Amino acid sequence: MATKAAHKRLLREHQTLSTNPPPFISAHPSEHNILEWHYILTGPPQTPYEGGQYWGTLVFPPDYPFAPPAIRMHTQSGRFRCNERLCLSISDFHPKSFNPAWEVSTILLGVQSFMTSEEMTTGSIGGSDAQRREFARQTRWYNSTGNGSTTRKLGESAAQHTAKPAAQQSSNKWSFGGRDGGAKFREEWPELDEENWKSMEAENIDPQTGKSVKSPGDGQGSHSAEATKSATGSQTGAREVHAAGQAGQGWLGRNWGKMAIAAVFLYVLAARLLSDVN
């Protein structure tokens, strides 16, 4: 349980963050525990994380601000291990280096800065820019489906979908970022969760795989149209050739007698001329 001083300090910082949040950062305390904060880092432009939705937690000690919080990220990023405590100078790995003047915004700016660097520490991992961009593209799906562990279907509302509470789906309270069906994310970020599902529906993303699902006939309709067009063109061309052939054959058929008579006439005329010459 938070001390009176910690409770007062965290309430004030929540008000400050709500009215004047740092760029690409959102955060709030849990409704059930003011010492448990949930944050969203939006991937900054011109980084491999651009546009990504990175969800994590800060768990403060009861005597905050005289001791630092434990910091975790629950969204797959290619930079941090999911759900593991991060060893940073602003985290509970280094309580002696923590400055009581640092606020929640200071801590989250530090996480954001470390994320966009390549410095390694406990809880961090290496990865290529291409991998991180792909993870960034999948972050909304990852958060709202619990990495595909949801049973909710596209077109099904949150009210229609019934799922076990996160606590019943996992014995490890810090694994909810991976296999809880997105229950904890929905609890803490209901508006973002609804936006994420609308985005998945608009892009026809399979909730269980995170991959785009083509509607029946997608990619085949245009192919069929082209095939039909090609076949029609071929048939038209064939008919034109056939008609031309028939036209030629019809003329020959109608005039073959005249041509035969003309040939005989020319032959006789040629024979007489040769006879006179001799």
Catalytic residues: 87
Length of the chain: 278
Q: Which of 217, 199, 163, 26 is nearest to 104 (CA)?
A: 26
Q: Is-contact 96 88, C-beta < 8 A? A: no
> Hey, what are 122's tokens?
């406990």
Element counts in the chain: helices (H) and strands (E): 8, 4
**Cα–Cα distance measured from residue 77 to residue 49, given in angstroms and rounded to the nearest whole number:** 8
Q: Is-contact 53 40, C-beta < 8 A? A: yes
Count CB neighbours of 144 within 10 A.
26
Distances (CA, A) of 193 to 37, 38, 140, 144, 256: 17, 14, 8, 6, 84
